[in-house]
Chains A and B, each alone.
Chain A
Amino acid sequence: LAKTTQPISMDSYEGQEVNITCSHNNIATNDYITWYQQFPSQGPRFIIQGYKTKVTNEVASLFIPADRKSSTLSLPRVSLSDTAVYYCLVDQNAGNMLTFGGGTRLMVKP
């Protein structure tokens, strides 16, 4: 079971770029890395997913080094509405449970 480790919390200011790093030392060869965002009392929402190098979409970028033992979610120019908990997941074999972990609580200040 590939466990992930993230910072418990982070603070930022509006307009800044935020980078949240996740450690997953035991990631398996076929595992993907997925990030979710969760607002209070809402279900998590998929942000981005990647396997290696860099992935970018309209919301974020995901950087994965060659050894894949960590990954970094990058949120460009955050706003107050980006205040949420961000979870890093490493997928297991097909059908196995997906472990969310504690996530990183991001607070964006004006």
Chain B
Amino acid sequence: EAQVTQNPRYLITVTGKKLTVTCSQNMNHEYMSWYRQDPGLGLRQIYYSMNVEVTDKGDVPEGYKVSRKEKRNFPLILESPSPNQTSLYFCASSSLGEARSYEQYFGPGTRLTVT
């Protein structure tokens, strides 16, 4: 089954304790992306990757890091989490088709709480 998986699904942590949220897709997609969703602010893109070893900042990259060492994986790293990073996080992937448009497939989400 074609899917995007994220782990963990729920995480409660404390300020300053480094954490990684993993994202993996089995569709051989080139494009992967991370979003955060907050009430009243909609979905905002954090980072995206066009392919292996190619990453770029989205709308709200501060406080986050990503890496793309393998095509299927795109982990999101919070080196020193703070309470304002409490949010619902989504990973997405897409094929870079012939047309300049992408149907994105989203993971189930990771609900992160930083105390």
Contacts and interface: CB of A to CB of B under 8 A. Distances in A.
B70 interface: no
B102 A91 contact: yes
B96 interface: yes
Interface string B33-49: 10100000011110010
Interface stretch (A9-17, A58-66, A76-84, A94-102): A94-102
The SS class assigned to the B binding surface is: strand
Contacts of A42: 106, 108-109
A102 B109 contact: no
A97 B99 contact: no
- Tell me if A's interface is mostly helix, strand, loop or mixed: loop
A43 B100 contact: no
Interface residues of A, number: 25
Given A95-B50, A95-B56, A43 B103 contact: no
Interface of B: 4, 31, 33, 35, 42-45, 48, 50, 56, 58-59, 88, 90, 92, 96, 99-109, 111
A94 to B, nearest CB: 5
Interface of A: 30-32, 34, 36, 41-46, 49, 51, 87, 91, 93-95, 97-103
Given A97-B33, A98-B102, 5 more contacts: A32-B101, A44-B104, A91-B102, A95-B31, A100-B35
